[in-house]
């Protein structure tokens, strides 16, 4: 667990750890206005579905408490990133509380969402730790740790809990092109936690699985459809397909705020396409030929048939159990 969440309230503004510059630099930045908060989300200073959701909720509540136009603030925040449904879910909760109970209550609701997210992620770890043997070799993708969720993480939470119990889990950290959230952020978290790991290129997953070097795969999610399909960082689908081919369990970890009961299946999930500069450049330095374009979908959809189970705050669920709980 980190010393403090990835962002926090400080005298009417939000202080956050700037994830764009990790691990080489550690900067705390301030986001006070809606434009600053929208920029923090859209440029990935804050990222990860649960973190985006609670960050958006806190931003909206602060704007309402300043007497600003709540509808305009909602729309700006809601449009900052389209795929992660936590943002929409959390914004709707805050807006609903504001309309029923007023501005002070909506700020309390936003802070409560932050506490609930941390608590849910801890429970995800407690339930998921039983999937991890003493020396299990886990492959993950992107960053679904404390940085992405305020604290503990989703995919990393079971690994953290297992390690703190005295186990010795090992993590294959896929780099996660194009923005390297795996090699920059997940590796940084695991290093600080003292958990053994190795960074590998995204294309090595099949090789490692074929050589019996992976015991299970755990990833996070940005949106879960009502039929159990999930959207996660681009490259997740390939790992799921390979895991099935080689008989390796593939689990998805997320809190309830990541579920979209109004989305019937994965093909209805909106996929964010980001600037081609994120592919053709790294930290502002061009790595592709001038004149070569690129295409940058940020997420892909993994059908439920490739998923062994879902690690939630309510336990490790099968597809049928998850779908039943969503209907309820």
Query: In angstroms, rounded to a whole number, what is the distance separating the alpha carbons of residues 171 and 156?
Result: 9
The closest of 209, 201, 169 to 183, measured between CA atoms, is: 201
φ, ψ (nearest 5 deg) of residue 64: -60, -40
Annotated catalytic sites, by residue? 222
Coil/strand/helix, residue 87: helix
- With beta carbons less than 8 A apart as the criterion, state whether 82 and 40 touch: no
Tokens 């604290």 belong to which residue? Answer: 151
φ, ψ (nearest 5 deg) of residue 242: -65, -40
Structure tokens at 42: 């859209």
The H or E element that residue 315 is part of is: strand 315-317
Query: In angstroms, rounded to a whole number, what is the distance separating the alpha carbons of residues 22 and 185?
Result: 7
Residues 6 or more apart whose Cβ sits within 8 Å of residue 7: 14, 15, 16, 17, 46, 51, 55, 58, 150
Query: In angstroms, rounded to a whole number, what is the distance separating the alpha carbons of residues 318 and 307?
Result: 9
């Amino acid at each position: 667990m980190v010393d403090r969440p990835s962002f926090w309230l400080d005298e009417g503004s939000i202080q956050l750890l700037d994830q764009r510059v990790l691990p080489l630099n550690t900067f705390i930045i301030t986001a006070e206005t809606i434009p600053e908060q929208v920029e923090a989300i859209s440029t990935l200073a804050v990222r990860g579905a649960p973190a985006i959701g609670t960050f958006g909720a806190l931003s909206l509540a602060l704007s309402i408490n300043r007497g600003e136009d709540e509808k305009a603030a909602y729309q700006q925040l809601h449009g900052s990133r389209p795929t992660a449904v936590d943002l929409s879910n959390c914004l709707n909760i805050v807006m609903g509380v504001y309309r029923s109970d007023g501005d002070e209550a909506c700020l309390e609701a936003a802070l409560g969402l932050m506490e609930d997210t941390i608590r849910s992620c801890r429970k995800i770890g407690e339930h998921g730790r039983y999937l991890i043997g003493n020396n299990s070799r886990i492959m993950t993708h992107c960053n679904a740790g404390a940085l992405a969720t305020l604290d503990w993480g989703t995919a990393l939470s079971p690994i953290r809990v297992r390690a703190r119990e005295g186990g010795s889990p090992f993590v294959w950290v896929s780099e996660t092109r194009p923005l390297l959230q795996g090699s920059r952020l997940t590796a940084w978290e695991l290093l600080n936690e003292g958990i053994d790991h190795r960074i590998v290129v995204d294309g090595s997953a099949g090789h490692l699985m074929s050589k019996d070097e992976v015991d299970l795969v755990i990833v996070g999610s940005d949106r879960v459809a009502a039929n159990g399909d999930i959207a996660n960082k681009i490259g997740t689908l390939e790992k799921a397909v390979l895991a099935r081919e080689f008989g390796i369990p593939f689990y998805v970890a997320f809190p309830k705020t990541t579920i979209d009961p109004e989305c019937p299946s994965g093909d209805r999930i909106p996929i964010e396409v980001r600037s081609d500069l994120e592919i053709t450049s790294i930290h502002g330095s061009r790595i592709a030929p001038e004149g070569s374009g690129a295409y940058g979908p940020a997420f892909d959809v993994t059908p439920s048939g490739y998923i062994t189970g879902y690690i939630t705050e309510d336990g490790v669920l099968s597809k049928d159990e998850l779908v039943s709980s969503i209907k309820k």
